Structure 1
Amino acid sequence: MFKSAYLERVFNDVLKKDNGQPEFIQAVETFFLSMDDIISMTPQIEKYGIMERLVEPERLIHFRVTWVDDQGITRVNRGYRVQFSSVLGPYKGGLRFHPTVNASTMKFLGFEQTFKNALTGLPMGGAKGGSDFSSIGKSDGEIMRFCQNFMLELYRHIGPDTDVPAGDIGVGAKEIGYLYGMYKKIRNESVGVMTGKGLTYGGSLVRKEATGYGLCYFVSEMLKTYRSDRMDDKKVVISGSGKVGLYAAIKAHELGAIVVGMSDVNGYIHDPEGLKMDIVTELASNGELSKRYHERTGCEYGNDPRGLWRVPCDIAMPCAIQNELDLESAKALVANGCYLVAEGANMPCTLEAEKYFTENQILFAPGKAANAGGVAVSLFEMSQNAMHYPWPYDEVDDKLKGIMKEIFFKCYTAARRYKNPYDLISGANIAAFLRVYEAMMDQGIQ
């Protein structure tokens, strides 16, 4: 599979040790596929066991969360925090509450987060955490009790200079508030230990919009560099109607694009004239986008979210969840004229879909680069908390634009030097790896 015998050996070790963790194995394979040329040029990587150290998290914390529901029944969930790498700074990564959460998803997300954070150029290590708990169908009281009990286990492993969690799927403003409130009560201190907080108690402007906005800023740089073009009048489809998908749609519309399709867990909607952003914003906020939008406007509706990838478009932005866009969907996108795919979620495209896009010369933006806007603004929030001073909206947004432009430039430069200018997957992996590698070498074997 790999030209390097060293990479082949390390990957086979991963297959043996992490058997039954397909998401993590997929993330490692995608990363290693970019590393062959770097390995041949840098023998110190093998000598000092860099790859063996990179694929093994520094710490994997697995704990029980016990809570009581509204009927007085005791419930038990699993909680995780994977502190993957602290070589660049305090651990930083979100918390995900979703039934699919397990050790494999946490490790893959923490692994990806390490390199995503490296690309920002900011002092952040990589981590991820969460639980198989779902807030769907739960009362506010049940969500609060779960979050408080989750923090009763997590608090001993986090801190403003140790590990700073944020939100992710299933963890929004409500959950962050409950989690932070319990941490503050336990520790008797108000510090920037969580990001994504409410604006009334230390949150940052632009944080909720950051991943979606940053995705569009990255795509704008791609269009300018590769096609001497802009977002104006480009037909865009976006999967997912959470924070990432919603704010990607809003920013794409602001930049002049025509958002012709979106999806959620219930299905997809399509209007070749462009979706109405005021209605999208209203309904996405309530988690009722596809069915309710169809009822309000009479646009095309399908009850299979994957039908979105059959909608003719110029640009596709998968923003929902890992491996949502498979080979069949990739073929449908290409057949219907799509020429640019940008990942707003973490690893939403399967490895087979990625390869198909590459083989068909589709411009492709990997998630570890294109969706880094959220964690960048999380670091801005940490800085504001440390200063005890909030920044205005325009200042944060300008900083976000600058970070995304810089990330694109790093990926593009590395792609040109080591692979080819269009291979942003390798460019992102190599640029991120080189920063992590240099820090590991400087700090010695640990």
Structure 2
Amino acid sequence: MSQATDYLQHVYAVIEQRDPHQVEFLEAIHDFFQTMTPVFERHPEYIEANILERLTEPERVIQFRVPWLDDAGHAQVNRGFRVQFNSAIGPYKGGLRLHPSVNLSIVKFLGFEQIFKNALTGLPIGGGKGGSDFDPKGKSDNEIMRFCQSFMTELSKYIGLDTDVPAGDIGVGGREIGYLYGQYKRLRGADRGVLTGKGLNYGGSLARTEATGFGLAYYTEEMLKAHQLSFKGQRVAISGAGNVAIYAIQKVTALGGKVITCSDSNGYIIDENGIDFAVVKQIKEVERGRIKDYADRVHGATYHEGSVWDAQLAYDIALPCATQNEIDEAKAKTVIANGAKAVAEGANMPSSPEAIAAYQDANVLYGPAKAANAGGVAVSALEMSQNSLRLSWTFDEVDTRLKAIMQEIFAQSVAAADDYDVSGDYLSGANIAGFTKVADAMISQGLV
């Protein structure tokens, strides 16, 4: 056994012993470690500095009580979290997720992935993540406002423009960011750069709403182009019907692809004429309805219960944009049997380790989340820059910068994979490129 392999196994055993029940976090660590052996074989200084044990332990974990009153006047209590994972290259940056499934394991897995995603953007931002097990579904605007105000009352003690800049994630859109920022401003003053994803009339950036979905399309376009392929004339399956999925549908369609599916937690729709993103946007963002409503409004569209990844349906490209672990090994084999030549991830860790192995064994092009969905945090960082400069860039300027960032992320992944003799493995390439940047910064800053 090589020194590198022995070190990786030792660090994983330490983490597993410390956090045996944090399933999602252990999965993220395991997947990451699988690609790191060549790095530690080439760089024994990383072993000497024990960089992995330092990197996998968050700099700070904050958990707090969130009490709030529902519309009936009853006191409710949720848990709030913020994991400030790594600040080696800049202030902590990462979204807030509101969903009943949120726990410390999920927040840590998301924060860990965010470290490398943010490093890949080339912008000076570290990794963090947060959220609560509060469920915004079915809640009134006033209930969501009261929850957000209570959540921010505690969170405000730990964030700041040069310290930690949260954004949105699942369950946190423009409405929630507005309530969170309003409470922060009341408590700490009008520091517009402390949250991103803000409304355009109080410091938000054009193209931020579209950024993750557009960025996913730009990254996938680069991956396809590297293999003399494109979106043009291709059938595309997308899961999810939230922010990422909606704008991925829009941009993929603009690039010549035909998106034939999208979904929510109840089921999925198939539209052989191509999904109309404007209808999905109206249903999900304006009416806050269910994707089933699409089939009632659009002639020829059909609705089906269950996972879109179980459907026997021909398509060329798969873009999972819903949530973590939505594709297991069996679903991955269905995706492959359906004819997918490429899979790129709009959600965070939507494919299980077994699913990823299935893609790779079948020579399906695979774009990992930390690279493919980095567009959202990239434009969040551009929003921070605009706030600092006290100006706003045009939509086209932000979109042009976003596209260039996504192209550079793909190029970095290719270069790292080539450098470490794993050409074509974009997962390893992204992990290596992000890790080496953060590890070198940590070593430069000493044992802190």
Alignment deviations for residues 234-292 of structure 1 (CA, whole Å, 9 cap, x no partner): 11011000000000001000111000111111211112332233333322323435311
Q: Is the 8 A contact 1:60 1:83 kept in 2?
A: yes
Name the amino acid aligned to 1:253. Answer: T
Alignment deviations for residues 338-368 of structure 1 (CA, whole Å, 9 cap, x no partner): 0100000100101110111111111000000
Q: How does 1:174-189 map to 2 (within 5 A)?
A: 174-189=175-190
Match of 1:162 in 2: 163
Q: Which stretch of the first structure deviates more once superposed, 181-190 or 142-151?
A: 181-190
Distance, in Å, in 2 between the alignment partners of 1:124 and 1:402 is 18
Report SS of the residue matched to 2:319.
strand
TM-score using structure 2 length:
0.97
Distance, in Å, in 2 between the alignment partners of 1:189 and 1:293 is 40
Percent pairwise identity = 53
Report SS of the residue matched to 1:57.
coil
Name the amino acid aligned to 2:353. Answer: L
Report SS of the residue matched to 1:175.
helix
Q: Is the 8 A contact 1:239 1:308 kept in 2?
A: no
Match of 1:407 in 2: 409
Name the amino acid aligned to 1:56. Answer: E
Q: Is the 8 A contact 1:80 1:106 kept in 2?
A: yes
Match of 2:83 in 1: 82
Q: Any stretches of 5+ residues in structure 1 without a counterpart?
A: none
Alignment deviations for residues 283-340 of structure 1 (CA, whole Å, 9 cap, x no partner): 2323435311111224232111345653211100000110011111100011110010
Report SS of the residue matched to 1:4.
helix
Distance, in Å, in 1 between the alignment partners of 2:113 and 2:316 is 27
Match status 1:234 vs 2:234: yes
Match status 1:290 vs 2:284: no
Distance, in Å, in 2 between the alignment partners of 1:416 and 1:275 is 37
Distance, in Å, in 2 between the alignment partners of 1:366 and 1:307 is 17
Match of 1:60 in 2: 61
Q: Which stretch of the first structure deviates more once superposed, 410-419 or 173-182?
A: 410-419
Alignment deviations for residues 22-69 of structure 1 (CA, whole Å, 9 cap, x no partner): 100000011101100111111111111100001100000000001111
Alignment deviations for residues 90-148 of structure 1 (CA, whole Å, 9 cap, x no partner): 00000000001000000000000000000001000000000000111111111000000
Distance, in Å, in 1 between the alignment partners of 2:288 and 2:265 is 9
2:319 to 317, 320, 335: 317
Distance, in Å, in 2 between the alignment partners of 1:132 and 1:190 is 27
Distance, in Å, in 1 between the alignment partners of 2:278 and 2:115 is 36
Q: Is the 8 A contact 1:268 1:308 kept in 2?
A: no
Match of 2:380 in 1: 378
Match of 2:253 in 1: 253
Name the amino acid aligned to 1:234. Answer: Q
Q: Is the 8 A contact 1:113 1:128 kept in 2?
A: yes
Match of 1:146 in 2: 147
Alignment deviations for residues 174-216 of structure 1 (CA, whole Å, 9 cap, x no partner): 1000000000010123331000000000000000100000000
1:420 to 419, 422, 425: 422
Match of 1:137 in 2: 138
Match of 2:265 in 1: 265
- Over the aligned positions, Cα root-mean-square deviation in angstroms equals 1.3
Q: How many residues align?
A: 445
Report SS of the residue matched to 2:343.
strand
Q: Any stretches of 5+ residues in structure 2 without a counterpart?
A: none
Q: Is the 8 A contact 1:343 1:371 kept in 2?
A: yes
